[in-house]
Amino acid sequence: MLKGKALVKGCTIGIIAPSSPENKDIINEKINQFSSLGFNIKLGKHIYNSHGYLAGYDQERAIDITDMFLDPSIDGIVCFRGGYGSIRTLPYIDPKVIKRNPKFFCGYSDITIMLNYFTKLGLITFHGPMINSDFSNEETLESFLSVSSNCSNITYDLNEYNDISYINPNSFCGKIVGGNLSVICSSIGTCFEINTKNSILLIEEVNESPYAIDRMLTQLLYGGKLTSCRGIIMGSFTGCDLPDYSRSLTLKEIILDRLEILDIPIITGFPFGHSYPNITIPIGCNAHFSYEYKKLKILGTCLT
């Protein structure tokens, strides 16, 4: 696997906007907040651009991504925000650039497609907060700084989290992949389709009705994407609840109905995704979960 450099204070972080645009004042405010963590900052040339619901034309956003990987002064790359559009940049990115210039690369939500595509190229990436995230949340900040600077083994102690529950409880191991559910589903049938074989599949979502969660899980189920997993870890499902369930299944009922039959170990309530804390998790590396000790251990190092 290809590994980026561990980040410490004084490192230079490249900031790009591969998906949706944002107001310039908000961009500047969030960048100032992030730079207060002790990092030097370098902005993509087109970070302030806007083209409808996209942060500039596809080629422009792809240029910023490519430039950040090629620039030897950049130690790591963090996306500004998600939204939609990162998949449209991928045809314009030369895979050899990623392979020859491995770097810390972090984001979530719409960035899910990039995290998993770069992993296919051999690069370990990171599902974690972006520049527009709330780094005043202590657990989110602590996890990001700890994981991004860690050259040794990483262990997540699930005993520390209050909302964890288990379906088909057992230990498991595999390669961590996944992220946002709708992005995972939208990749199916494309050349950027996520590979879930022998994986630990991360799933999180935001602002989708329960029936839509059902539909997407059913698509993954009937498409064979779930039966090939070694384990599934469900994160935050923010804004996916309803005030009245008289004509709807609950999220818990949907997960049990769609996933329990797989007889695959499933963890729910892991704190990652569109809520806080949003812990940072490496994508593309092997991990082992011990049900006896309730600990998820990354096997090997993710950064150099």
The residue whose two tokens read 């590994």 is 3
Give the three-state DSSP class for 115: helix
Give pLDDT, residue 25.
98
DSSP 203-261: EEEES--HHHHHHHHHHHHHTTTTTTEEEEEEEEEET---S--TTS--HHHHHHHHHGG
Residues β-bridged to residue 103: none
The residue whose two tokens read 């699930």 is 158
Q: Are strands 104-107 and 40-43 parallel, antiparallel or unpaired?
A: unpaired
274, 278, 284, 289 alpha-carbon torsion, rounded to 10°: -120
Ramachandran region, residue 67 (left: φ > 0; alpha: ψ -120 to 50; beta: rest): alpha
Tokens for 104, please give them: 């810390």
Domains and CATH numbers, the chain: 12-148 (3.40.50.10740), 155-298 (3.50.30.60)
Give pLDDT, residue 165.
97
Annotated active-site residue in 19, 60, 127, 274:
274
Give pLDDT, residue 119.
98
288 catalytic, yes or no?
Answer: no
Q: How far apart are the first and last CA of the chain?
A: 11
Per residue in 158-216, pLDDT (tens digit) is 999 999 999 999 999 999 999 999 999 999 999 999 999 999 999 999 999 999 999 99
Cis status, amide bond into 277, omega within 30 of 0: yes
Tokens for 272, please give them: 């990652």
Per residue in 201-215, pLDDT (tens digit) is 999 999 999 999 999
Output the pTM of the full model.
0.97
Annotated active-site residue in 109, 133, 143, 236:
109
127 catalytic, yes or no?
Answer: no
Per residue in 21-80, pLDDT (tens digit) is 999 999 999 999 999 999 999 999 999 999 999 999 999 999 999 999 999 999 999 999
Cα→Cα distances 250→77, 191, 196, 219, 237, Å: 38, 34, 26, 18, 12
Per residue in 94-122, pLDDT (tens digit) is 999 999 999 999 999 999 999 999 999 99
The share of the chain scoring above pLDDT 70, in percent, equals 100
Q: Which helix (H) or strand (E) holds 172?
A: strand 172-180
Give pLDDT, residue 94.
98
292 catalytic, yes or no?
Answer: no
Query: Distance between CA 277 and CA 143 in Å, rounded?
Result: 9
Annotated active-site residue in 204, 205, 208, 236:
204
Give pLDDT, residue 177.
98
E strands in 5-55: 12-16, 40-43
Give pLDDT, residue 114.
98
User: Strand order in 12-16's β-sheet?
Assistant: 40-43, 12-16, 76-79, 104-107, 125-127, 281-283
Per residue in 221-237, pLDDT (tens digit) is 999 999 999 999 999 99
Give pLDDT, residue 185.
98
* Residue 179 CA, distance from chain mean position: 5
